[in-house]
Chains A and B, each alone.
Chain A
Amino acid sequence: MKNTKHLGVIFFPAYDWAISPTHPEREERLLYTQDQLREEGVFDLPNITEYKPEIATYADIERIHFCFPSPQEVSTESHLVAAGGAIKAARLVMEKEVDRAFALVRPPGHHAMKVVHGNRGFCNINNEAILIEFIREHYGNKKIAIVDTDCHHGDGTQDIYWHDPNTLFISLHQDGRTLYPGTGFSEELGGPTARGRTINIPLPPNTSDEGFLYVIDNLVQPIIDDFKPDLIINSAGQDNHYGDPLTNMNFSAQGYARLNEKLNPNIAVLEGGYSIQGALPYVNLGIVLAMAGLDYSQVREPDYNFKNLRQSPQITEYIEKLCTLTMKNYLKPPPLKVKPNQYDTRYKTVYYDTDGINDQQFEQIMVCTNCSGVRHLTSKTHRNSSCMGIEIPIDACKRCRDEGYRLLDEGRRNFKGTTIKFINRLDQEYLTVNEFELTPISRYYF
């Protein structure tokens, strides 16, 4: 057993939490995984230790999300524990108690965006983003790469880091033309201050081990080598598995373990994966062993059949071309038509499939030549009429910092909505301005 690493596994199956009794995101999702890990005795191995999650605080959530009307309203205790599991993973690695950590927790989070009104794509709050900003708050402004290997586009994580040049977000997923959430195309490359820091790799249905590992070797690894992150985080969704009921890919437990070994992430966080009997027990075992530097060659699904899972030459050819194109986009992203030191704007409509909320967003980012730029948005749903979010980034220049406070002041005086959320990552100041403070009467009489 050479090159073994001390792996911390934060296993939290949330046996008392489900979206609904027959929803894929239900109580026993990790039951068979736990049976498998227990029967294999992995937690008795000298270099694998099981840990209990922490409970994330609302401050951990509000550090990164604009939650309307409040984090209390859009998350439950389960979400705090899952996010707390990710935080525990971060703490263990940053305090060097372990070499690697795997937060094997649910509910998942990678569809949760910057603005949160409820649940979309089975997610409320973004576990990876909460983990990353926890690290930056307590251990310095680290350069971080997130590799999202869930079959669904990690649109939430992408939205959160769209304007952050210090975070590289790479998502491998089934082509959005064939699967929820219908985004994640090659030309989505990040905002004006972070061009090329968002990389999408939409793979065709029926991509197998060969295709995934080709992308890792020929695209993901070279990009990461170029970016030189301090930490690599894997959003370890397991629904690329050939047995997954919601998707159409042909990835295997061996493939997932190989991918993890190549990627060598400091921290992995479970995302989706709904073949709870046929895939998850084996994929999770493979990832745990690979992260611990142990032999995973004997991990195999009982129904695994290599011949049935081979990808066609057309798929191979398509993926090769996609990789060449994407590499070009990373190295030399097509420029956006923006004016330096002015606001660039985008309109977005975000649909919350689970909660049936439709969100109209208007977002502005300062195209700053000195920092990531102050971010300012308004968001409107039938549930929370009009809300505002202002964010001063962690690397803010004086101008953007002052601009953030100017926006806040102006919002206090003139905003006709319900809530303003203010995030100042630079000075670690976080504010909520509620409706009654926004009305002129309250300002004069309370």
Chain B
Amino acid sequence: MLLGIDVGGTHTDAVIIDRGGIAATAKVETDHSNLITSLDMVLEKILSSGPDQPISKINLSTTLTTNAIVGKELEEVGVLAVSGPGLATDCFNHNLGEHFHLLEGSIDHRGNLRLALNDVAAREVVAGCQRKQLKVFAVVSKFSPRNPEIEQTLAELVSTQSDFTTIGHRISGRLNFPRRLATAYYNTAVWRRYNAFADAVSLSIKKYKLNAPLNILKADGGTINFKNSRNNPIQTILSGPAASVMGIIALSSITEDAIILDIGGTTTDIAIFANGAPLLEKEGVSFGGRATSVRAIGTHSIGIGGDSAITINSDGKIMIGPQRMGPPMALSGPQPTLIDACNVKRLCNLGNFAKSFSGLKELAEQNQLTTEQLADEALDTALKTIQFEALKLLDTINQRPVYTVEEIVHGKQIIPQQLYVMGGPAVILAPLLGQSFDLATEVPDNYAVANAIGAALTRTTMEIELFADTGKKTLLIPNLGIKRKINSSYSLNKAQDDGVSEIVKYLKENNHPEIKNEDVSVVEAESFNMVDDYSVGSKTIRVSCQIRPGLEKDYLEGIK
């Protein structure tokens, strides 16, 4: 049996799933001042009601790091950056705390050291950090995925005084210095808080005599094992929305291109699926004012939900949201909302119809409209905005740059065949949305605990970048810390095999014996000749492999 827990913004949900389907669910309110209490309460509730069989796996999604970054509850970090020539410093040094230091040194795009780290200056900066009693560090150099030596030297320099250091190339093997920098900074800044939470989670798990493997959810809809999450807390941001998306996959049988709308009280989250799989942000998610290299399911959030207030601006234009003034008037709220308009239109029958009607009537009369007109237009505005934003997102995805003639001319375009709507107002709005999108529409059952179901069923994910240079005879897999010699005949095929087997090997060593070669897909594989003096010399080989977000297949049948 699998246990999934989502410590979300409003509620903490838990679900136990066995091969027959959902065996138990529990919901408590989230106490933001003490997330562990919420976890304990939900465990108490679900374990007392659930079946007796043992739990074989626990997956936990938490808002801890998300909240820490949004609430700026961040530890002071000594940030040591080496950029070399290129972009001006003010393009990348913002939102990195008070202790950003730029050091001299440079590595080029081929990974050649062009200017050694200024050792004397570096030692001075490190000493300065000590005087300021900084205990945690982020060290990042430009082109470290091509050559990690400067970062390694810096990590060594701070090692005696550091409780924890994030090293840029271990965060991501992809090229993007500003993202690596921001991600390394956040990872360090939330490290202590996350680990305190993790300690408390360990105690809770022990208290409830759960000794199944524990995994933590990530923003890409996959998991990371509990122990590894302690050094990679940044991977756990935004895992809640990702869990919901994975839940939708579990609850419906998405195999085609599709649009997913999660309509809540204040917002609607839009996600796009290609061939039944959620699309990830191209380079990583933007968060806390910075673009990061954290892989995440691409969701676009707009300020329209069931409780969005209906207002009319000075030009007489009817607006929905983005504010939520409170619950609908039908439930004694202060201002007419989208749900009140649905009540007036008899699309639903929530709370007190008379209150909905009089609320809309008052606003309509102030603006020389009939109540019916206002309800119609409010609803129409909401539907049109959701549709406009969803199609805009789709267009952005379809217009993504590609780099070969083949992809430009014959590349796949995403053409949605199906619309999935979930969330509180889903049942009410789904038929109307289906009409405006002109798509077959489905509202999955059990969407209220889709997040916890997604959490319970999701599997581990992983991504690596492999970079080989047959001229230098080196192979690098930055985020696994692998650097080794290759011979000059090393080939693209060999690189693909190595990429796959290194992921499997790493995961086997990290509590995932179930992962097999077939679970890993090669996303990109390129080999280019490096021509010197008009003869083909060596090759530069780039391979990117990943385990895509996926669900425990053995348990899916029961859920549906």
Contacts and interface: CB of A to CB of B under 8 A. Distances in A.
B88 A41 contact: no
A301 B283 CA distance: 27
Interface stretch (A10-18, A115-123, A173-181, A412-420): A10-18
B530 interface: yes
Contact of B85 (A27, A38, A295, A298): A298
Contacts of A300: 85
Interface stretch (B176-184, B480-488, B489-497): B176-184
A36 to B, nearest CB: 5
A190 interface: no
Nearest to B108: A302
A48 to B, nearest CB: 10
Contact of A81 (B106, B109, B112, B408): B408
A1 B526 contact: no
Contact of A41 (B110, B177, B402, B409): B177
A277 B399 contact: no
A32 interface: yes
B505 to A, nearest CB: 28
A5 to B, nearest CB: 15
B400 A52 contact: yes
A45 interface: yes
Given A15-B403, A77-B409, A277-B110, A39 B88 contact: no
A300 B409 CA distance: 36
B405 A22 contact: no
A52 B175 contact: no
Interface in B381-439: 399-406, 408-409
Interface string A28-64: 1001101110111110110000111101000000000
A22 B90 contact: no
Given A40-B177, A298-B87, A13 B143 contact: no
Given A35-B175, A41-B87, A55 B536 contact: no
B109 A36 contact: yes
B384 to A, nearest CB: 22
Contacts of A53: 408
B109 A42 contact: no
A177 B405 CA distance: 37
A21 interface: yes
B404 A14 contact: yes
B526 to A, nearest CB: 7
A21 B529 contact: yes
Contacts of A27: 528-529
Interface in B153-171: none
A439 B112 CA distance: 65
Interface in B204-229: none
B176 A77 contact: no
Given A32-B109, A45-B91, A294-B91, A51 B401 contact: yes
Given A52-B399, A302-B85, A44 B179 contact: yes
B291 interface: yes
A297 interface: yes
A16 B406 contact: yes
B316 interface: no
B109 A297 contact: no
A14 B405 CA distance: 6
Contacts of A11: 401, 403
A70 interface: no
Contacts of B529: 21-22, 26-28
A50 B401 contact: yes
B403 A294 contact: no
B535 interface: yes
A38 B108 CA distance: 13
Contacts of B177: 39-41
A264 interface: no
B534 A22 contact: yes
B405 to A, nearest CB: 5
A345 interface: no
A59 B86 CA distance: 41
Interface in A178-221: none
A52 B291 contact: no
Interface in B54-98: 83, 85-92
A289 B109 contact: no
Interface residues of B, number: 45
Given A15-B403, A44-B291, A52-B402, A302 B88 contact: no
B311 interface: no
Contacts, number: 124
Contacts of B406: 16
B196 interface: no
A302 B179 contact: no
B528 A31 contact: yes
A78 interface: yes
B120 interface: no
Nearest to B530: A28
Contacts of A295: 88, 90-91
Contact of B87 (A40, A55, A76): A40
Interface in A46-102: 50-53, 55, 76-78, 81
Interface in A294-311: 294-302
B399 A77 contact: no
B27 to A, nearest CB: 39
A36 B86 CA distance: 9
A32 B534 CA distance: 18
B307 to A, nearest CB: 32
Contacts of A76: 405
A268 to B, nearest CB: 17
A125 B536 CA distance: 28
A210 B17 CA distance: 73
A281 interface: yes
Contact of A28 (B89, B90, B408, B540): B540
Contacts of B403: 11-15, 34
B131 interface: no
A220 B401 CA distance: 34
A22 B536 contact: yes
B178 A44 contact: yes
B88 A297 contact: yes
B158 to A, nearest CB: 23
B296 to A, nearest CB: 15
A35 B109 contact: yes
Contacts of A297: 88
Contact of B408 (A44, A52, A282): A52
A52 B176 contact: no
A274 B90 CA distance: 31
B540 A277 contact: no
A39 B405 CA distance: 24
A421 to B, nearest CB: 25
Interface in A270-318: 277, 281-282, 285, 289, 294-302
A446 B57 CA distance: 80
Nearest to B407: A16
A53 B531 CA distance: 27
Interface string B466-487: 0000000000000000000000
A52 B401 contact: yes
B176 A302 contact: no
Interface in A237-287: 277, 281-282, 285
16 contacts: A11-B401, A14-B405, A22-B529, A28-B528, A36-B109, A41-B92, A41-B177, A41-B291, A44-B291, A51-B401, A76-B405, A294-B88, A295-B88, A296-B88, A302-B112, A302-B114
Given A12-B401, A41-B87, A50-B401, 8 more contacts: A13-B403, A16-B406, A21-B529, A28-B529, A39-B142, A44-B291, A81-B408, A277-B110
Interface of A: 1, 11-17, 21-22, 26-28, 31-32, 34-36, 38-42, 44-45, 50-53, 55, 76-78, 81, 277, 281-282, 285, 289, 294-302
Leading 4 A-B pairs by shortest Cβ distance: A295-B88, A41-B178, A28-B528, A302-B114
